[in-house]
Amino acid sequence: MRAYHIKNKEIIPSSCRSNRGFLATITTILLLITPPAFAHKLNMFAYVEGNEIFVEGYFTDGKKAKNSEIIVFDASNSELLRGISDADGQFSFAIPQQSDMRITVNAGMGHQTEYSLLKNELHEEVEDPSSEPTTTATVADENSTQSADGPLTPITAVSLDNSALRTEVERAVGKAIKPLMRELSAMRAEKSLADIIGGIGFIFGLFGIAMYFKVRKTS
């Protein structure tokens, strides 16, 4: 056995080089063909749209998390409601209560992710006195540009169905920011080349340290 090793040691200089070259080639190829997107990590986003909360789950390769179980918990971790996402991985439900919420999406096979929706992201049903003037002002402004009438009439008309209008505005804003939200959560999920190189650096570094101590112990 000893002799076998000795023999091996003598062979190493010639044959080991090609082996190392092979491994290095594999690693390089693996690095080069790595696409920026990450397969099979489940992502989700949730936001308030009018009186409803909209949830969408998707995998980072673009596949939608369809037929996934969506469970909503309140702040004290008790279940509020659950549902199944549709073919587009989407699910929406009426706001169950005014509190912080934790929403989980379980796409099966060990894929699960969660999102915390804070209370202040929710649409307030109770009229907030501080936000009242701003809403009225914007709406009045909008109306005054459309009609030549005095601003007085629109204001009274607006204040009547203020809450309906506000819901409408929130829904419109929600729709407008939907692609932004999607982009943002995709960006957050995407990892850079720096992470990959960093990880490999960690591995070599740790084994380098291990080697250092091994060598010190043997010598």
Interface positions with other proteins (CB under 8 A) = 1-4, 6-8, 10, 15-16, 18-19, 22-23, 26-27, 30-31, 33-35, 37-42, 59, 61, 63, 104, 106, 108-114, 189, 191, 195-196, 198-200, 202-204, 206-208, 210-211, 214-215, 218
> Alpha helices of 73-192 — where are they, by DSSP H?
132-146, 152-160, 162-189
Cβ 85 vs Cβ 57: under 8 Å: yes
Shortest gap between Cβ of 86 and other proteins (angstroms)?
17
Nearest CA to 24 out of 204, 180, 191, 152 is that of 204
Q: Give Cβ neighbours of residue 33 (< 8 Å, ≥ 6 apart).
A: none
Nearest CB to other proteins, comparing residues 9 and 164: 9
Burial class (CB in 10 A: 0-12, 13-18, 19+), 43: buried
Q: How far is the CB of 106 from other proteins (least distance, A)?
A: 7
For other proteins, give the closer residue by CB, 160 or 203. Answer: 203
- Compare residues 118 and 200 and give the one whose CB is closer to other proteins: 200
Q: Which is nearer to other proteins, 72 or 95 (CB)?
A: 72
Could you tell me which residues are beta bridge partners of residue 102? 73, 116
Q: From residue 76, how far is each of 45, 73, 81, 117, 187 by CA, in Å? A: 21, 8, 14, 14, 30
CB of 5 to other proteins, least distance (A): 9
73: phi then psi, degrees, rounded to nearest 5: -115, 155
Strand pairing report for 69-74 and 101-108: antiparallel
- Residue 65 C-beta: closest distance to other proteins, Å: 12
Residues 6+ apart with CB under 8 A from 88: 56, 64, 66
Min dist CB 123 to other proteins, Å, is 27
CB nearer other proteins, residue 109 or residue 187: 109
Cβ at position 207, least distance to other proteins in Å: 4
Residue of 57, 43, 109 lying closest to 87 (CA atoms): 57
